[in-house]
Structure 1
Amino acid sequence: MPILNQGRVPSLLFVPGDRPERFGKALSSGARAVIVDLEDAVAPGAKEHARTVVSSWASAGHPVMLRVNGIGTPWFADDLALRELPGIAGMVLPKTESADDIAQVTRGGGRHIDVYPLIETAAGMSNIREIASTSGVKRLLFGTLDFQVDMNIDGDAEELDAFRASLVLASKVAGIGAPIDGVTPAIDDSERLVRDALNSKRRGFAGKLCIHPKQVSIVNEVFEPSPAELDWARRVLAVVAESRDAVVSMDGKMVDRPVVLKAEQILATIRGDR
């Protein structure tokens, strides 16, 4: 499953856990990973039904991630038991606030399971480095909407950029994959979605959470290297290969090691080194 690797993972699509008729559409949407959601997308009275649906549908043939209900809710323990199902490739843990929260997901299971903590509270953000460095954590996800509410912040653009920087820095220091940014709730506003995705990309995020299949192709296009970026990267490596270790320039700019590393990163995305 692409999200289990290290590079860009443009789109992660949520699908309600009690709507099996939508599962196939989500898997064919072009999203790099599908998150079957047992939390926000499922009403309290439908939680048990959703678990039954997931249990009967889960298969190694279509790996997905699973967002469980939070620690402290009456549904967490039963949701957690689904980690043993074939095809559950990772657990998304809402409102993660500590390393102990991660341990409650990883300990006692019959097999290793990757954890994707959703950072949605002030407490979680305060402990971000501890969380990122905890065994079992694969990537951090930014739950922007809940975080706004918890912090009483009005706006999810530049108002959250300082916190976005914290997630990127913590991920880099911990040696895990770059984080995934939160959703754009305006499903029909493609211009807003492009702006949000570009902001995420510029700030070091690997991808973005999506709440509708129509968002997937737009997010993928923003995060994938453009033809111009690929052409630039190939020219950089060609110039360096021909230089025989001499100092070189291209387009009037010196080509030093950081430039070469950037070119290699861009080309790695199309080789599948994600």
Structure 2
Amino acid sequence: MKILVCISSVPDTTSKINFTADKSAFDKNGIQWVINPLDEFALTKAIKLQESQGATVTVMNVGDAATEPVIRKALAIGANDAVRVNLDPKDSYSTAKEIASVAQNGGYDLVLCGKESIDYNGGSVPGMVAQLLNQPFVNASVGLDVNGSEATAVREIEGGKETISVKLPAVIAGQKGLVDEKDLIIPNMRGIMSARTKPLQVVEPTSSEVKVQGVSYDSVPPRAAVKIVSPDNLDELVRLLHEEAKVI
């Protein structure tokens, strides 16, 4: 079984997010980059299938050369090889189109990814990939088993869980719960050293077509200062809630 795991390079959650002076783009200066956490759940699941079923695991990323340290970390976690499409993606469609091209040319049985990236939270790439490949798609999976040419996925729905069976090849987008958090793999020294020599193929994009263009970005307004009111001064509390907070 051949598995393609799609990973995004996203800012670490501790990084301070800023935008350029004209608010037209995200300012990448001083950012620490990591594997998108939801993609890491998908990667860990792929490694488990590698261990239990002898699957080969390829990680891929659509991005420029700056994403290669993140790709190497995925290789250190246990992927066999990697593909980077040399494109700074501008929208979900251009990203999905490149993923679909790699998946189709590589003849993969299963495409795994997170349901969304934590930077833009678009959540549209996995479904687009499945549509472009004309393959079954299960989103927001919290469980996955593969038996021969069939995959059984579990996804959360309102009030419970739904179990879905699909024929391979298929696209599965996972979320927290696809594997236990305790099973997420921290690369050891052996993995880090071996990642340096694992194949990382760089391919040029098939297209530069962009269907959606970001116009501007705004930071979240800073929180207002906290006012502390003495428990004995209920009149002042009521006044603040009425005149300033305007909740009563």
TM-score calculated relative to the size of structure 1: 0.26
Find the structure with the greater CA-based Rg.
2
Query: Which fold has the larger relative contact order, with Cα–Cα distance below 8 Å and residues 6 or more apart in sequence?
Result: 2
Higher strand share: 2
Higher helix share: 1
